[in-house]
């Protein structure tokens, strides 16, 4: 069972093709490609954290999309971003929604910020967390101890800083050639391999 991170799929949003130079003929082809890439990598028993901007469509379209995607899907809930169109009225008891994934699991709505504990260890053996949020931050939980941060929203346009990674599908495409979720271990490797831009001498 693996953990995956993703953001900014923008299912059903035709303008995203131009905004982010996603090279698809139309939004139908875009959505089908993203669904296929998701299911190619994510197993039914895996957990996927979606950091927001899942779709601009309403609840009926969101229900159909979730039903085609593998995994135990958890969406960071924001009342003010694009997902408000389908989030409104969809939540039930304890964060569960009325939507189900292709795995038969209810889609879960998390708070706007989630901390995953002990995703890796430091050289001294201390476990470090990863903070998940739709928006990028300049500081995050235990960052000075090696804690990491994953975000979306910026579509690969936010300057990278040590310890932080944009996990949106546009960044994933730049890293892997596919608009897909990134495995947690991939994110940690990408974060730890980037030490900052080289300085001019």
- The CA distance from 201 to 194, in Å, is 19
Task: Compute the average pLDDT of residues 180-198.
Answer: 88
Q: Are 7 and 134 in contact (CB under 8 A)?
A: yes
**Whole-number average pLDDT of the chain:** 90
Q: Tell whether the model's pLDDT for residue 15 goes beyond 60.
A: yes
Neighbours of 93 (CB within 10 A): 5
Q: Tell whether the model's pLDDT for residue 161 goes beyond 80.
A: yes
Q: Tell whether the model's pLDDT for residue 157 goes beyond 60.
A: yes
CATH of domain 1-201: 3.60.21.10
Task: Compute the average pLDDT of residues 129-133.
Answer: 97
Q: How confident is the model at residue 198 (pLDDT cuts 50, 70, 90)?
A: low
Q: Tell whether the model's pLDDT for residue 199 goes beyond 50.
A: no
Q: For strand 47-50 and strand 3-6, is the pairing parallel, antiparallel, or unpaired?
A: parallel
Q: Tell whether the model's pLDDT for residue 30 goes beyond 50.
A: yes
Q: With pLDDT > 70 as the criterion, what percentage of the chain qualifies?
A: 92
Q: Tell whether the model's pLDDT for residue 169 goes beyond 70.
A: yes
Q: Tell whether the model's pLDDT for residue 33 goes beyond 90.
A: yes
């Amino acid at each position: 069972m693996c953990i995956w991170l993703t953001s900014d799929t923008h299912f059903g949003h035709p303008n995203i093709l131009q905004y982010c130079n996603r090279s698809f003929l139309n939004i139908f082809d875009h959505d089908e490609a993203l669904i296929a890439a998701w299911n190619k990598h994510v197993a039914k028993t895996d957990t996927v954290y979606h950091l927001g901007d899942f779709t601009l469509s309403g609840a009926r379209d969101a229900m159909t999309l979730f039903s085609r995607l593998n995994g135990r899907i958890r969406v960071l809930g924001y009342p003010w971003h694009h997902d408000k169109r389908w989030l409104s009225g969809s939540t039930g008891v304890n964060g569960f929604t009325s939507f189900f994934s292709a795995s038969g699991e209810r889609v879960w709505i998390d708070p706007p910020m989630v901390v995953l504990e002990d995703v890796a260890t430091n050289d001294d053996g201390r476990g470090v967390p990863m903070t998940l949020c739709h928006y990028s931050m300049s500081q995050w939980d235990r960052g000075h101890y090696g804690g990491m941060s994953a975000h979306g929203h910026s579509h690969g346009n936010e300057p990278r800083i040590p310890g932080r990674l944009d996990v949106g599908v546009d960044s994933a495409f730049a890293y892997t050639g596919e608009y897909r979720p990134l495995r947690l271990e991939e994110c940690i490797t990408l974060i730890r391999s980037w030490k900052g831009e080289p300085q001019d001498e």
